[in-house]
Each structure stands twice: as C-alpha cells, then as structure tokens.
Structure 1
Amino acid sequence: MSFDVVCFDCDSTLSRIEGIDELARRNGIFDEVAALTDAAMNGELALEEVYAKRLELIKPDKASIDWLAALYISELVEGVVETVAALQANAKQIHIISGGLRQAILPLAAQLGIPEQHVHAVDIEFGADGGYLDFARHSPLAVSGGKARICRRLRMQHSSLVMVGDGKTDLEAKQAGAYMIGFGGVVRRPLVEDQADCYVADASLTAILPHVL
C-alpha cells in the first residue's frame, strides 16, 4: 500500500514523551495531569474534558516550552530520522498532527526537515514577559474529532493519506477516510491495537515503512 501523505502524531510516536505530562512533572503535578492524559488517550474521557484543565494546572511559560522542545528532540523514538528520510526520498508529503503544543513541536519538525506549515498542533499564547496567557481555544486539536478535521482538509488535496499514532485521537483519522497505523513502540493501548487498520509494536518507527511505501 502506498500513500501520498503520511501524518504522524508526535507524543509517544515521534518522541518517547507525552509533552504536557513532562511539563506537569517539571511543576510537581505529574500524577494528576498524567491521569487526565491517559484517560483521554484510552478513550475514557473526551479530549475537551481534559485539555483546558491540564494547561490551567501547569500554566506553561515560554521558558518551559523551550525546555520541552529540547526534550522532544533528545527523546526521539528509535528510527524516526531514518523513517522520515525514507519517506522524503520517496517524495511523500509529511505532516505532524498533534494535540500537543505547537511551539514545542516546531524545533523537532525543523530538525526532521518537516515544513512549519505541515505542523498542526495547539498554539500557546504568552504575555510580554513570556508568562502563560492561554491556549488557542479555537484549535480543532484541543477537542475530540480534531484530527479527523485536519485529515479531511488534507484529503481535499490528496487522494491517499495515512495517520500513524498511539492514541484514541489518532483513530479519528479513520472518520476522514484515512488509513490508520497504530504505533505501540512506546505505549501499547488495547483500544488502538483493536481498532487500527494495522498495528506495529516494534520499538523502531522504521517498522511502519513496509506499510506506507
């Protein structure tokens, strides 16, 4: 099977971490926030029920977002660089579709050679002093069904699209007619394993290549 566009989740797919959980750990509130994240990724709570709540608890400032950006890169999943290079060599268009924080994901995308306009995530708003103000509440990626909306938009221009990810929100791509590959190299979620079109449990992301080229 071959696809024109290959979309990746970021957290627990391109990078081993869950970004918002790591910001919470830095602030000493990891257990509380991680429980909310896990409930959303396992389909127990709707994303919109946890999104604002987590950020209001953490209030990430610009310095913590810069810290997280470096952590995303240092915790790259095995085989990410090779996977992206192989897809680019085969003229595939690559996008990142994430419910994570866009300013923290952009440096990772730049390192992989993925254009800024192909990074779909949630923007954070800072004050003049770099303190946390709010997040982009209009973003489709802060609510359930958001990844399906982004995939639908992409499918208006491209005939075939695949989404690679670890969580329930990544399964939403199927609502947009996308093929969905579940990636369990970091976290194995029974719901995703059961409902994905194809499931890869290898620790290296390169295991997806036979399914997308």
Structure 2
Amino acid sequence: MSFDVVCFDCDSTLSRVEGIDELARRQGSFEQVAAMTDAAMNGEMALEAVYGDRLGVIKPDQAAIDWLADLYIAEMVEGVAETVKTLQENGKLIHIISGGLRQAILPLAAVLGIPDERVHAVDVIFDEQGQYVDFARHSPLAVSGGKARICRRLRMHHSSLVMVGDGKTDLEAKLAGAYMIGFGGVVKRPLVQEQADLFLAETSLTAILPYVL
C-alpha cells in the first residue's frame, strides 16, 4: 500500500500526552476531566458532550497553552521525527488532524517541519490579557464526525489517504474512505484494536513505515 497523504492524530500518537488532561492536571481538575476524555475516546460519550465542558472547567490561558506546547515536544513519541522525515523524503503530504488545541500543537508541527496550514485542530480564543474566553465552536473537530469531514476535504484533492491514531475519533476517517492505522504504542483501546484496518502495538511510530510507503 502507498498513500499520497498521511494524517496523524496528535495526542497519544505524535506525543505521549493527552493535552487536555495535562492542562487539567496543571490546574487541579485532572480526575474530573480525565473521566470525560476517557468516555469520549472509548466511545461511551459523544465528543461534543464533553468538549466545551472540559474547557469550561480548565479555562486554559495563553501561559497554559505555551506550557502544553513545550510538553508536547518534550514527550514526543519514539520515532516521530524519523517517521515524518522519511515520509516527507518520499514525497508524502503530512497533515495533523486533532481534536486538541491548535495553538499548543503548532510548535510541535514546526519542529517536525509540518506547515501551519496542514495542522487541523481547534483554536482557543483569548482576550487581550491572554485569558481564556472560548474555543472555536464552529470547528468540525470539536464534534463527532469532524475527522471524517477533514479527511473528505483532503480526499477531494488526493486519491489515497491514511489516518494514524489511537482513539475512536480517528476511526471516523474510515467514513471518508481513508485507511485507518490504529497506533497502540502509547495507549491500546479495544475499540480501535477491533475496528482499525491495521493495529500496531509497537512503541515506535516507525512501525507504520512499511505499511504506508
């Protein structure tokens, strides 16, 4: 198999952390928020049911987002830089498609040489003092089915697309005709093991290379 476009989830795929949970831990509401995240990732609750609620609890300011951006980079999954570099050298277009917070993911993308316009995530809105106001409620990635919508958009221009990720929302790419590789190197979710086109449990992301080149 060979794909024109390789799309990656961010949390628990490119980086070992779940960003929203780490923001909650920093702010002191970890248990409450982690329970919501888990329910959404395991398919027990719709994403839209928890998305705004979690951010409403945490209210991450600009300083918190900058802190998370550094953490994403510090906790990069083994083999990520090598994987992205190899794919780019082979002419693959790399996109990040994440339900995470875009301003926190952009610095990681920059380290990997992925342009901002290929980072699809949810923008946070701050006031002039850098305090949390809201998030981009119109973003397709803040609701169920959003990753399928982004993949459909990409498939209008590219014939073959693969999505690599760890959670239920990554499986949605299959609805857009994408091939879905479940990455279990950080967390193994039974639903993803059952429904992914291919499931890899290796800790290094380089494990995907034989299947996407």
Instruction: Could you list the structure 1 runs, at least 4 aligned residues long, displaced by more than 6 angstroms after superposition.
Output: none
* Partner in structure 2 of residue 100 of structure 1: 100
State the shift of 1:27 in Å. Answer: 0.6
Partner residue, 1:65: 65
Please, which runs of 5 or more residues in structure 2 have no aligned partner? none
Distance 2:17 2:35 in 1: 15
Query: Could you give the per-residue CA deviations for residues 25-57 of structure 1, whole angstroms, max 9, x where no partner exists?
Result: 001110110010011000000000000000000
1:111-149 C-alpha deviation (Å, 9 max, x unpaired): 000010000000000000000000000000000000000
1:134 aligns with 2:126: no
Deviations 1:97-120 (A, max 9, x none): 000000000000000000100000
Quote the offset at 1:94 in angstroms: 0.1
Q: Quick check: 1:195 aligned with 2:195?
A: yes
Matches of 1:6 and 1:172, distance apart in 2: 15
Q: Which amino acid aligns with 1:125?
A: I
Q: What is the identity percentage for the equivalent residue pairs of Structure 1 and Structure 2? A: 79
Separation of aligned partners in 1, 2:81 and 2:113? 10
Q: Distance in 1 between matches of 2:109 and 2:155?
A: 21
Q: Deviations over 1:52-71 (max 9, x none)?
A: 00000000000000000000
Q: Is structure 2 residue 74 aligned with structure 1 residue 91? A: no
TM, length-normalised to structure 1: 1.00
How many corresponding residue pairs? 213
RMSD: 0.3
- In structure 2, distance between residues paired with 1:25 and 1:90: 39
Match for residue 13 of structure 1? Answer: 13
Residue equivalent to 1:164: 164
Q: How high is the TM-score relative to the length of structure 2? A: 1.00
| Residue 29 (structure 2) pairs with residue 29 (structure 1) | yes
Q: C-alpha distance in 2, partners of 1:185/1:114?
A: 22
Instruction: Tell me the distance in 1 between the aligned counterparts of 2:31 and 2:186.
Output: 19
Aligned to 2:184: 184
Alpha-carbon offset, residue 17 of structure 1? 0.1
Give the 3-state SS of the residue equivalent to 2:150 in structure 1.
Answer: helix
